[in-house]
Amino acid sequence: MRSREFLVSELINNPFAAPLVLEELQSYGHFAEKALARVTRTHIFTVLGLFSEGKLSPDQVSAWAGRLENRHDLDFEFGDEGAVREVDFWLANPETCWPIDSFLCRRIESLFERRNSKRG
């Protein structure tokens, strides 16, 4: 069996993560004493780029974000109240937030731009 760190990283970095990755991770559960990997805005933009190129469907984007949403063995850039966590929630829950489309992609870009300008 592959290490938990590797599997969590694969879950974040590969939106096409094979069911085998998910199956292996189930044996570890969602909880961990510390985060084993971090979801960053780069991960978000990579997935949105694949969506914009037509390589991922809205359902695939939502499934990727949903796999990350409630895990306690990873954390999010800028913390639980930060923009990356917020965007992951939007993407994981399009039925209650916004549909995954080009408008949402622009909204996400604007969110990160606003947050960057507040930090700078």
Residues 57/62/65/70 CA torsion (nearest 10 deg): -160
Whole-structure pTM value: 0.92
What angle, rounded to 10 degrees, do the helices at 19-26 and 4-13 form?
140
* Residue numbers of the domain that contains 15: 4-119
Write the pLDDT tens digit of every residue in 7-26: 999 999 999 987 889 899 99
Write the pLDDT tens digit of every residue in 27-36: 997 788 899 9
For residue 54, what pLDDT is reported? 98
Tokens of 8: 């969590």
Mean pLDDT of 71-93: 95
CB 81 within 8 A of CB 49: no
For the chain, what is the largest distance between any 2 Cα atoms, rounded to a whole number of angstroms? 44
CB atoms within 10 A of CB 39: 24
Whether residue 119 is predicted with pLDDT greater than 80 in this model: the reply is no
Whether residue 120 is predicted with pLDDT greater than 70 in this model: the reply is no
Domain count for the chain, please give it. 1
